[in-house]
A and B are shown apart, each in its own frame.
Chain A
């Protein structure tokens, strides 16, 4: 366990770690947001780690997930067509 749980800006390092998801999504209420901002200004450790966490989120959200190729879509189309044909033929 690391010993970096300091109180800066009225909030402790561990609380900042817990609040990072809402901070990067701009989902903190104004009081909490101000506390986190003050903490990050006064705590190099959390400022650096918060920057890395935010960078990860930006990279993930810019990442283009591997998409299916046209072969997969073609096979899916044939499957749906055959299912529809079968159900049309049913009484």
Chain B
């Protein structure tokens, strides 16, 4: 439990769960994992398996959000907001941890989840696809759009 609890809790908070929701989902996740341990077939990784259970637990807490349409800005538009073609540099602002965390909170759920799983938690694309129950190309698309939107938010443009 100690080996994975912090990682799962961090993932839940990274996905936008409040501290209370994250703890509730964490508890539900580990109870479910303990009860279903025999069903774990040693697939990609125990961590990805737990992330899947935890994400489903969190999703149950946020059923009202299920089905929300993803954003449909073009990649070109997102790139422009992120500074593609801009003269100013924003790299120095990336060192401000609080600013990056704040920006992450401003991403749409689907894009934030991809960024959290791939970049913050270090899952492979295939593992993230499994956790999110989407295809690998969809993970890549959400990740790219999420990163561009992060750049836009940090830069102070549209988020």
Name the B residues within 8 Å of A51 (CB-CB). Answer: 91
Interface size classification for chain B:
35 or more
Verify B91–A55 contact, CB threshold 8 A: yes
Name the B residues within 8 Å of A45 (CB-CB). Answer: 84-85
Verify A4–B147 contact, CB threshold 8 A: no
Verify B91–A1 contact, CB threshold 8 A: no
Verify A79–B9 contact, CB threshold 8 A: no
Q: With an 8 A cutoff between CB atoms, is B95 at the interface?
A: yes
Verify B80–A1 contact, CB threshold 8 A: yes
Chain B residues 1-28 with CB under 8 Å of chain A are: 1-2, 5-7, 9-11, 13-14, 22-23, 26-27
Q: Given A59-B100, A60-B115, are A68 and B5 neighbors across the interface (CB < 8 Å)? A: yes
Whole-angstrom distance between the alpha carbons of A81 and B109 in the complex?
33
> Interface majority SS on A: helix, strand, loop or mixed?
helix
Verify A66–B10 contact, CB threshold 8 A: yes
Verify B30–A76 contact, CB threshold 8 A: yes
B: which residues have CB within 8 A of A? 1-2, 5-7, 9-11, 13-14, 22-23, 26-27, 30-31, 34-35, 75-77, 79-80, 82-85, 89-91, 94-95, 97, 100, 115-116, 119-122, 140, 143-144, 147-148, 150-151, 154
Jot down 22 A-B pairs with beta carbons below 8 A, ordered by A.
Answer: A2-B84, A4-B84, A17-B84, A18-B75, A18-B144, A45-B85, A49-B84, A49-B85, A52-B91, A52-B151, A53-B147, A56-B150, A57-B119, A60-B119, A65-B13, A68-B22, A68-B23, A75-B27, A76-B30, A80-B31, A80-B34, A83-B34
